[in-house]
Amino acid sequence: MGNVAEPGQPRIAMSGAGKRYGTLQVFQDVELTVGEREVLAIIGPSGCGKTTLLRCIDGLIPLSAGEIKVEGERVTAPREGVAMVFQNFGLFPWKTVFQNVAYGLKLAGASRAQIAEQVPKFIELVGLTGFENYYPYQISGGMQQRCGLARALSVEPRVLLMDEPFGAVDAQTREILQFELLRIWEARPTTMVFVTHSIDEAVLMGDRVVVLKGRPSSVYEIVKVDLPRPRDRATLLQPRFAELREHVWSTLMADARQAELAIVKR
Ligand SMILES: Nc1ncnc2c1ncn2[C@@H]1O[C@H](COP(=O)(O)OP(=O)(O)OP(=O)(O)O)[C@@H](O)[C@H]1O
Ligand SMILES: [Mg+2]
């Protein structure tokens, strides 16, 4: 299927990547690579351009400067093999769970027989069996996000782009989904770019955590997460996890704390 990256070549390579909306420079000079079986977590304040960056990688919108290559090819439009899970589920309200999951496969050119075989498999994988004929408004937020996940996974993407996939669900569901995603990823490791607001989630998921900061934003720091895989609930209890979380926290908060100190000193 399609182009497969040459050995040793990064799946995703961004160089000098910048995006402007009119006069608003959102991010600039982004240099990043993501490996074949790597999870790159991206964290940064609201509005710093995380969704915009994912959309550029997905080919939904063009960069204003620099380039993004996926599997060695410059991205100019959405590509086969790249799937995205959206921040707000991104489901079609008029389609059932089954039809929503089938949509990605249809776009990818799957036959009826392939759809009939694949859709139930992925609905089961995310725990939605029995809800195939429900519409999004009839299921909970967590279930809607499972549906979005099944749609993205069903095309067996070589690159999975996740935009705060668990941001809109309650804390318990979020934990459950995090560990389910880790389990799914372990079974079939692929290239993943995982955007989140949660420091814990970034450290838990990522092989590296990229901190985006500034206005316009750019890569402020890249933290290597040397926690062993497979990761599970016990990972959260490791002293190294706490150290890494603390490190990312202080990186993110450095400016906020300096601003606070400046106010106190006045
Ligand atoms: N289509 C658009 N047209 C103009 N400006 C936009 C557009 N999309 C996003 N922006 C602006 O670009 C900036 C970055 O937005 P983006 O949604 O990428 O941020 P984000 O980091 O994903 O934020 P959040 O964490 O809140 O999801 C914001 O200032 C936003 O107003
Ligand atoms: Mg966003």
Could you state, in chain order, the average pLDDT of each consecutive group of 10 residues for the chain (266 residues)? 59 98 97 96 94 96 98 94 86 96 91 95 92 96 91 92 88 89 91 95 97 95 96 96 96 73 66
> In this structure, which topology does domain 36-44+77-206+222-265 adopt according to CATH?
Rossmann fold (3.40.50)
Any atom of ligand 1 within 6 Å of the Cβ of 182: no
Q: Name the closest-CA residue to atom 8, ligand 1.
A: 52
pLDDT for 202 equals: 97
CA distances from 141 to 81, 105, 171, 174 (A): 26, 23, 12, 10
Residue 174 has which token pair?
């979020």
Question: For residue 162, which ligand has an atom nearest its CA?
Answer: 2
Q: What letter would DSSP give residue 217?
A: B
**Ligand 1 centre from 51 Cα, in Å?**
7
Q: What letter would DSSP give residue 7?
A: T
Q: Are 248 and 203 in contact (CB under 8 A)?
A: yes
User: What whole-number distance in Å separates Cα of residue 218 and Cα of residue 211?
Assistant: 8
Strand bridging mode 218-224 / 12-21: unpaired
Any atom of ligand 1 within 6 Å of the Cβ of 52: yes
Any atom of ligand 1 within 6 Å of the Cβ of 169: no
The enclosing H or E element of 171 equals: helix 171-187
Sheet of 24-34: strand order equals 24-34, 12-21, 65-70, 73-74
Please, what is the Cα angle at 169 between 163 and 174, to 5 degrees? Answer: 80
User: What whole-number distance in Å separates Cα of residue 110 and Cα of residue 122?
Assistant: 15
What does the domain layout of the chain look like in residue ranges? 36-44+77-206+222-265
The enclosing H or E element of 181 equals: helix 171-187
User: What whole-number distance in Å separates Cα of residue 252 and Cα of residue 237?
Assistant: 22
**Ligand 2 centre from 58 Cα, in Å?**
14
**Ligand 2 centre from 115 Cα, in Å?**
31
Torsion 42-140-127-175 (CA) sign: positive
Which of 16, 20, 27 is closest to 213 using CA atoms?
A: 27
pLDDT for 195 equals: 96
pLDDT for 260 equals: 64
Q: Which of 19, 20, 21, 217 has most ligand 1 atoms within 8 Å of its beta carbon, as the pocket-test mutant?
A: 21
**Ligand 1 centre from 266 Cα, in Å?**
33
Q: Euclidean distance between the first and final Cα of the chain, in Å?
A: 62
User: What whole-number distance in Å separates Cα of residue 250 and Cα of residue 257?
Assistant: 9
pLDDT for 104 equals: 87
pTM: 0.91
Around 37, how many Cα atoms within 13 Å sit in the side-chain half-sphere?
8
Phi–psi pair at 62, nearest 5 degrees: -85, 155
Any atom of ligand 1 within 6 Å of the Cβ of 49: yes
Amino acid letter for position 195: V
pLDDT for 261 equals: 67
